[in-house]
Every structure is written in C-alpha cells, then in structure tokens.
Amino acid sequence: MKLQFKLAGSITACILVLILGVGIGSVFVPPQDIIKIILFKIAQKEIAGIQETFIAIVWNVRLPRVLVAFLAGGALAVSGAVMQSILKNPLASSYTMGVSSGAALGAALVILTGFYLPLIPAFTLPLAGTIAGLLTVYASVKFAALVDKNFENSTIILAGIVFSLFINGIITVIIALNRDGMARLIFWQMGSFASQNIKNFNVLLPICAGCTLILTFLSHEMDLLTFGEEQARTMGVNTKNIKWTLLFSASALTGAVISFVGIIGFIDLIAPHLVRKFFGARHKIVIPMSFCIGGTSMVLCDMIARTILSPQELPVGAITAIAGAPFFCYVYFKGRRRA
C-alpha cells in the first residue's frame, strides 16, 4: 500500500475516532449534530434545530476533554519515539526513563503547596513537570555513566526504571502525609481526563505544537543518530547538543502532559512501534504520525474508561496499562529471541 493511502487512512480514522469520542457517553450525540455544533460555534452563529443539552454537552464537556486527550496521547507518543531513537532501544520511553515519575512529583508538589507563578499561573504546572522530568532524565543518564564505563543503553534504561521507582516511593510518602488531599492525588496519579477544560487545552496546545515542530525539524539528525554517533558526527551532526535538545523537547512534552492529566503509561511505548511498522523508520514521518496515532489511541482509551462501567468512570491509566503491559512483554521477548 502506498504511503499516501496509509496517511489518508490514518487521518480519516483519527477524525472518526475524535467524533466518536465526543458523541459517545451517557447521552449519545449524533455525528451530524457534533459537526454542526462545532462549525456554528467557531463561526459564532446561532445554532437552530439542536437541543440545548446537546450543545452544552459537546461544547463545554466532551470536546475539551477529547481535545486534551488527543494532545496528551500525541505528546506522549512523540516523546516515546524520540527516547527510542536516542537510546536505540525499543523499550525506551518517557515512562521507563523516569520522566513521567519526575514530572508527577513536580506537579504534586505544586498542587499540594498551592504555589503558582505570579505572571503566568496557567504555566506553573507544565513548567514544574518539565523541569522535574528533565532533572530525572539528567540524573538517570549521569548515574548510568557513573556505574557503567561503556555507557550502554540498557544501563541507561535500567537507571531510569530505578529512579522512577524511587520517585514513586517519594510520591507515595507525600500522599500518605497529606490525608486531606489523598483521594484527589491518588486519582490524579492514576491518570484521568475527567476535569479537563478548554483552558488546559489552550495551555497544552502551544507546548505540544512547539516541541513537536522542533522534533520534526530535527528528524534528519535523528535518522543519522540511528546509524550510531560516530556515523552521525562524520555527517556533521553535533551529537551532544542534538541529543540534549531532543531529550529536553521530549521531557517538555511528557512533563506538560503529566502535570495536567497524571501518570499515563505505555502510549509512549506502543504508538511509535505501530507507526514504524506501518510507515517505516524515517522520523520525518514517524514524529507527526506518532502524534496522530498516539492521540487517537488515547481518545479510544479514554472513551473505554468512561463508558465500560458507566456511570462509574475508570482511570485512563488503568486502561493503557492493561493494554500496554502485554505489548511491553511482546517487544521484550521478541527482542531476546532475535538476539
């Protein structure tokens, strides 16, 4: 199948899933009504012939939730694709590298202390998550270099997992010592889009779009890095600066998302693998299609989380873990068989 048909099919499937995500729930809203509501609201025209309840549900509740879920899934998938590219390991992701745990710790501290930046309060959470996530990656990389002179990628991933477990322990202690906000923090830590609104979408959009554009712009350098750092250097790539730029952008994506929606794993592991299988390994295609497939997958998982036991809602992190854990094992044991 030609690449153009694959791209067109993926984008079409993405749009259909987004419409389904907005329409399906305790109250079903027909697709034609969804499209009409969105178009008329954007054009700021009065909507006739549609129930006011449908308009409120679509525009105020479900559409912001679906848009945030799509951004979150896309950002995590792009971050995972970059981590796998840098470390040349199919099991590398922002989750296994400890970025998610670090970002969660930074966000939890902001939530509990109530501290917000005076001029840009809306960006306090994503900034705290980004800084904490980047510090975790930096600590993992430095620790791996200290204990392993060969600086093997498997050592870096193992160090990331160790730091992730350590930070999760700190988060658990913080939650146990703050009983007043325990329930809220536990549910947030499991990942959910229940309280998302258009303000969160407006904050996440420039961060996700900016970092994804930077990573897409560096797609040629990532292609060269897959052949090894020596080869990349001979082609004129400043590998040290490029790797830190890639790590910072990937950490910013993960940190911003985790700060708003909690820890959601495995999307950043699964989506890049699916993209490479169907679209090839060129990062010019892998980065934007990882965003598309990751966002679509997250919307599907969120739709399952809020409908499978309706009216009770499950944490979306539980759904992604149930789907992602077997996939993680499949990738790991498939790699061992090849070795």
Encode pLDDT of 48-102 as tens digits. 888 889 989 999 999 999 999 999 999 999 999 998 888 777 777 777 778 888 8
**Least confident residue range of 2-6, 186-190, 243-247:** 186-190
Q: What is the mean pLDDT of residues 11-28?
A: 92
Quick one: which H or E segment has residue 188?
helix 182-190
Over pLDDT 90: what percentage of the chain?
A: 27
DSSP three-state, residue 218? coil
Q: Rounded CA gap, 126 and 317, in Å?
A: 19
**Least confident residue range of 10-14, 66-70, 194-198:** 194-198
Predicted local distance difference test score (pLDDT) of residue 234:
85
Domain 68-338, CATH 1.10.3470.10 — does that match?
Answer: yes
pTM: 0.88
Q: Rounded CA gap, 29 and 248, in Å?
A: 41
Tokens of 118: 């005076």
Please provide residue 335's backbone torsions phi and psi, each rounded to the nearest 5 degrees: -65, -40
pLDDT of 150 strictly over 70: no
Q: Rounded CA gap, 25 and 100, in Å?
A: 29
CB 256 within 8 A of CB 210: no
Predicted local distance difference test score (pLDDT) of residue 203:
87
Query: 311 falls in which pLDDT band (50, 70, 90)?
Result: confident
How far is the first Cα of the chain from the last one, in angstroms, to the nearest whole number? 30
Query: 35 falls in which pLDDT band (50, 70, 90)?
Result: very high
